[in-house]
Chains A and B, each alone.
Chain A
Amino acid sequence: MEVLKQELKENIIEQLNLEDIAVEDIADDDILFGDGLGLDSIDALELIVMLDKNYGIKLTDPKEGREIFASIEVMAKYISEHRTK
């Protein structure tokens, strides 16, 4: 799980071009959207594609994303339970 969390942080920083943020700056329970890391709806689309491409998880209901992308902790838990690759 720790490896997956580290991987998620690295991918989020790279794919969302979070230039001024390092892996160490993101705590596992930090809120990713809104007041937390400040991600927005376009980032949500990027994360949905990342789940599909990297872990074989297809999110069909956008509302699901709100819960799954709450934090790195929540994302890692969901991915480890649902991943197909």
Chain B
Amino acid sequence: MSAVYITGVGSISSQKTFDNTEFLREILTYTDNVISVVNPNYKEYIPPAAARRMAKGIKMGVVASRIALKDANIENVDAIITGTGMGCVRDSEKFVSAIIDNDEQYLTPTSFIQSTHNTVGGQIALGLQCKGYNFTYVHASVSFESALLDAQLQLENNEVDTILIGGVDEHGDHTITIHKLINHIKLEKTKSTNVLDSKTEGAIFGEGANFFVVSNKKQDSSYAEVIAVQTYNTLSETEVSHAAQLFLKDNGLAIDDIDAIVLGNNGDVKYDTFYNELSLNLFKETQQIYYKHLCGEFNTASSFGVWLASKILKTQELPEVVKLNKKSISNFTTILLYNQYRGENHSFTLLRKC
């Protein structure tokens, strides 16, 4: 079986992560309960004629994928695998609203055509003229991990050599309103960097696109090796520690082998307890890292976690702003990531320095 390497990354988030020459040098803080991405100049990447029908999520996905390809120094891939929890929700809202507002009359095609979940993957393929395998996983907060797992299986078995994978989600006005009504979004505007101290229910919602070139060929510029991915749709709080131990054991590792754990804490007092199971017990002596104060919560926010872990493994730098505790680690070799959303759809991902 071949190994799987991350050879290029591209990130569009609420930080200026689209610039791969920097690594969280300047941190943007927000006081809100919904945060948006810092937009790159989309026109540099997408011709105006193509861009005019693209909603924000499509533009984010297309541009993040271009940045990842450039970073990997390649122009095309054998396959494209996308993960998204909500797909092109803005266009979905647009055409459904048009149906209601116009009493099912006067319906136009554009927003409907662009509203499907696989539009991002399709548009990336059209732009690259990539006629290979193209698949989109819509598995709530394990959508990105499902894409990663698919890529890992194909690369390990040498079915293809290079795959573009990514997680992308945009927020839409109506969806935000609904999530506020059901308290999935914090009622109060919260300073993003203090979100873990909020002690209230709900999260600060965000959006973003994080794409990666993964390959079974190691390059000098590779970021990390993907060791394993494991997802669970259901896992109780009391089972998290056991699942983590089992995951490590299956990969021939013990707690002490983990140099850092990247946790998906989002400041929701009701569900951060899942992370506490690991951070207060098994991994209390491990360097703990968090990131959702930088990108917000969304179904594919964990792809930002993978971006962060990849950068740490490549640069061996750990920005102060992501430290959940203070440990003196000088060499990052193996990083474990754990994520869940509202107690469901858990994922463990293991990355190792190349």
A20 touches B110 (CB 8 A): no
Q: A19-B51, A19-B52, A38-B49 are in contact. Are A45 and B109 (CB under 8 A)?
A: yes
Looking at the assembled complex, report how far the CB atom of A55 sits from the nearest CB atom of chain B, in whole angstroms: 12
A38, B49: Cα distance in complex, Å = 8
Cβ of B48 < 8 Å from any Cβ of A? yes
A49 touches B51 (CB 8 A): no
Cβ of B327 < 8 Å from any Cβ of A? no
A53 touches B52 (CB 8 A): no
Cβ of A17 < 8 Å from any Cβ of B? yes
Cβ of B107 < 8 Å from any Cβ of A? yes
Taking CB atoms and an 8 Å cut-off, the chain B residues in 37-75 that contact chain A are 48-49, 51-53
A17 touches B52 (CB 8 A): yes
A42, B49: Cα distance in complex, Å = 13
A50, B73: Cα distance in complex, Å = 45
Q: A17-B53, A53-B102 are in contact. Are A46 and B108 (CB under 8 A)?
A: yes
Taking CB atoms and an 8 Å cut-off, the chain B residues in 100-138 that contact chain A are 102, 105-110, 113
CB nearest neighbor in B for A17: B52
Task: Indicate which residue in A19, A46, A49, A53 contacts B48 across the interface (CB closer than 8 Å).
Answer: A19
Give the total of A residues in contact with B, Cβ under 8 Å: 13
- Interface size on B, as a range, is 10 to 19
A5, B40: Cα distance in complex, Å = 35
Looking at the assembled complex, report how far the CB atom of A32 sits from the nearest CB atom of chain B, in whole angstroms: 14
Looking at the assembled complex, report how far the CB atom of B99 sits from the nearest CB atom of chain A, in whole angstroms: 13
Report B-chain residues with C-beta under 8 Å of the C-beta of A46: 108-110
A52, B106: Cα distance in complex, Å = 7
Task: Indicate which residue in B52, B102, B106, B113 contacts A18 across the interface (CB closer than 8 Å).
Answer: B52
CB nearest neighbor in B for A53: B106
Q: A17-B53, A18-B52, A19-B52 are in contact. Are A42 and B109 (CB under 8 A)?
A: yes
CB nearest neighbor in B for A43: B110
B52 touches A42 (CB 8 A): no
A36, B343: Cα distance in complex, Å = 55
Report B-chain residues with C-beta under 8 Å of the C-beta of A20: 48
Taking CB atoms and an 8 Å cut-off, the chain A residues in 11-70 that contact chain B are 15-20, 38, 42, 45-46, 49, 52-53
Q: A19-B48, A20-B48 are in contact. Are A49 and B110 (CB under 8 A)?
A: no
Looking at the assembled complex, report how far the CB atom of A51 sits from the nearest CB atom of chain B, in whole angstroms: 10
Query: B67-107, CB under 8 A of A: which get 1 and which 0?
Result: 00000000000000000000000000000000000100111
A52, B109: Cα distance in complex, Å = 15
Looking at the assembled complex, report how far the CB atom of B262 sits from the nearest CB atom of chain A, in whole angstroms: 38
A17, B110: Cα distance in complex, Å = 10
A42, B109: Cα distance in complex, Å = 7
A49 touches B52 (CB 8 A): no
A45 touches B108 (CB 8 A): yes
Looking at the assembled complex, report how far the CB atom of A48 sits from the nearest CB atom of chain B, in whole angstroms: 9
Report A-chain residues with C-beta under 8 Å of the C-beta of B53: 17, 42
CB nearest neighbor in A for B54: A17
Report A-chain residues with C-beta under 8 Å of the C-beta of B52: 16-19
A42 touches B113 (CB 8 A): yes
Given contacts A46-B110, A49-B107, A49-B108, 7 further A-B contacts (CB under 8 A): A15-B108, A16-B52, A19-B48, A19-B51, A45-B109, A49-B106, A53-B106
Q: Please list the residues of chain B having a beta carbon within 8 angstroms of any beta carbon in chain A.
A: 48-49, 51-53, 102, 105-110, 113
Q: Please list the residues of chain A having a beta carbon within 8 angstroms of any beta carbon in chain B.
A: 15-20, 38, 42, 45-46, 49, 52-53
Contacts A/B (CB < 8 Å), 26 sampled? A15-B108, A16-B52, A17-B52, A17-B53, A18-B52, A19-B48, A19-B51, A19-B52, A20-B48, A38-B49, A42-B53, A42-B109, A42-B110, A42-B113, A45-B108, A45-B109, A46-B108, A46-B109, A46-B110, A49-B106, A49-B107, A49-B108, A52-B106, A53-B102, A53-B105, A53-B106
